[in-house]
Structure 1
């Protein structure tokens, strides 16, 4: 059977055509000593221990790969270190471009994404990751939804990123949600929840911690 493949740019042009700003994370190197008794809201409690009845939060960030049933399965990202959320997002995009590890491949996981370099992070503002499509690498038309879901689910697994916007040639880019409709605004985790191999996957920890900057 011969599969028809279309460049991402051409496909999106057929679907229709979202965009930018900048971001920064303040850093203060000054060391301060704080009396633990004065720290509010149990912020120094062991976060690995889960309170009875509380949902256990998934350690992030995660990578999402396609299983044999065209569902999205999450795996921990390979080890890296970054100084800010934007660096984490860039590492996640790089790892998505590299494809699944040998272990994940042997477990039957794959990817709908073209090779490394087809997506570039422009900025992160207001918890939204702005991406630019930078490649004309081919992608099967029946894999566009999965490729979009992999990107959105992986990036929104990062504490500090809740939404994803894509652009091509500086023009807003509309891509499909799992419902099949074209997105007119930012894409969110819940837009692709129905594609998860585990739809009851627990939520990410919303607080950005040192371990999120250097996971693995």
Structure 2
């Protein structure tokens, strides 16, 4: 059979003949470009840029914890965690200070990974004599837990001092000895609701 493009015409409307069988039009008789595939009008999808997987959390001017990315060189999750905690202890950078970023961790703090297994990271705290207390202490713990949790494979954190587990404060101030998770400190990631002053009776 001769090579051709079969055009089935579905016709209707006034003055247009509808009878007769479908006609075969030779390829050479088709106007240039008509038989070519219609180019897609949709633009190719823009590839999504994955966020930096490793982040530390710093304190902004409203006492809210905000994430800042860090580049790490380690080859294993434990090495990544150790590098990230060292970066947290040294933060903020000069550039972050110009953004009014600060930290509740005291100068000279040491954060060491003593174990990482089964999703649990054990972090030894080397605290100076004047460790933060109250709200600053709770934010400091939140910075450690939230930062450590950005390392894939870290689901919970246990804090120790001199090798012994310690009770850590939750945002409410309650002390617990159970492993700490990022969800425990999610409240530090949003500003507190504005306080309302009762209306004074006139």
Bucket of the pairwise TM-score, normalised by the shorter protein: 0.5 to 0.7
Per the alignment, residue 130 of structure 2 pairs with 138
1:107-155 C-alpha deviation (Å, 9 max, x unpaired): 1110011235522110101111101123334223131101100000000
Q: Which has the larger radius of gyration?
A: 2
Count matched residues. Answer: 147
Unaligned 5+ runs, structure 2:
1-44, 193-202
**Are the counterparts in 2 of residues 73 and 196 from structure 1 also a CA contact under 8 Å?**
yes
**Are the counterparts in 2 of residues 175 and 182 from structure 1 also a CA contact under 8 Å?**
yes
Partner-residue secondary structure (3-state), 2:131: strand
The correspondence for 1:106, drawn from 95, 98, 120, is 98
Partner-residue secondary structure (3-state), 2:170: coil
TM-score by length of 1: 0.62
**Are the counterparts in 2 of residues 94 and 117 from structure 1 also a CA contact under 8 Å?**
no
Partner-residue secondary structure (3-state), 2:167: coil
Calculate the aligned-residue CA RMSD, in Å. 2.4
**Distance (Å, rounded) in 1 between the aligned partners of 2:57 and 2:147:** 6
Structure with greater contact order relative to length (CA < 8 Å, sep ≥ 6)? 1
For 1:44-63, list aligned pairs within 5 A. Answer: 49=48, 58-63=51-56
1:96 CA drift (Å): 0.8
Is 1:187 aligned with 2:183? no
Higher strand share: 2
**Are the counterparts in 1 of residues 105 and 132 from structure 2 also a CA contact under 8 Å?**
no
Is 1:92 aligned with 2:84? yes
* Structure 1 stretches of at least 4 aligned residues deviating more than 4 Å after TM superposition: none
Per the alignment, residue 148 of structure 1 pairs with 141
1:63-116 C-alpha deviation (Å, 9 max, x unpaired): 100111111011111x23111000000111110111111111111110011235
Per the alignment, residue 205 of structure 1 pairs with none
Partner-residue secondary structure (3-state), 2:175: coil
**Are the counterparts in 1 of residues 123 and 158 from structure 2 also a CA contact under 8 Å?**
yes
1:167 CA drift (Å): 1.1
